[in-house]
Amino acid sequence: MESQTIKVNINGRAYSLVAGRDFEVTETLSTVLRERLGFTGVRVSCNQGACGACTILLNGRSVLSCMMLAVEADGCDITTIEGLPADDPIIKAFAEEADPGYGTAMQCGFCTPGFVLETKALLAENPHPTREEIREGLSGHVCRCGVYQGIEHAVEKVSKAISEEGK
């Protein structure tokens, strides 16, 4: 049987993955990213599309990597949390968010990569979302520590910073 090769660009680096050698055709994209390639910032919790932990950017759009096969990503650009610079404004806002009255946006940090990448996709489409639009945009994500208010505040903070930069 002819071997199947997929070509993907992950965090700016080209990968050529051969089925049967580098991955199995039945494996999800989250499994290949995490287990095969070591991008452990791709978190897997429910593994059934219900928690948002495994969110990545696929050609700039947020997708649940546990809900697609790796072969479906052939030819695509993938961004995981490892692909963002350490001074990314969204990462900074999540890390810094601890204003009195709001609490932290990051307690154990398990859900954070998914929220950060979803926020990236959200703000690319709508740089100045209302609190309701933030809630709606992040509604597919579960934070077991329950720091939703801090997360919403962090997103508002980044959005405000973006608008001030644009002035």
Using CB under 6 A, list all residues that contact ligand FES.
44-47, 49-54, 64, 66, 106-111, 143-145, 147
Question: Between residues 147 and 155, which has the closer beta carbon with respect to ligand FES?
Answer: 147
Q: Are 106 and 119 in contact (CB under 8 A)?
A: no
Q: Which is nearer to ligand FES, 68 or 161 (CB)?
A: 68
CB of 126 vs ligand FES, minimal distance in Å: 22
Determine how β-strand 61-64 pairs with β-strand 55-58.
antiparallel
Nearer to ligand FES, 15 or 110 (CB): 110
Q: Cβ of residue 2: shortest distance to ligand FES, in angstroms? A: 31
Other Cβ atoms within 10 Å of 140 Cβ, number: 15
Residue (64 or 71) nearer to ligand FES, CB: 64
> Measured from the CB of residue 52, what is the shortest distance to ligand FES in angstroms?
5
Q: Quick one: tokens of 140?
A: 């597919």
How many Å apart are CA 105 and CA 77, to the nearest integer?
Answer: 28
Distances (CA, A) of 42 to 19, 52, 158: 21, 10, 22
> In the complex with ligand FES, which residue's Cβ is closer, 36 or 162?
36
Instruction: Give the Cα separation of 56 and 79 in Å (integer).
Output: 6
Cα 116 from chain centroid (whole Å): 6
C-beta of 67: minimal distance to ligand FES in Å? 6
Least separation in angstroms between residue 139's CB and ligand FES is 13
Q: How many degrees, rounded to 5, is the angle at CA 160 between CA 159 and CA 161?
A: 90
Q: Residue for token digits 């950017």? A: 57
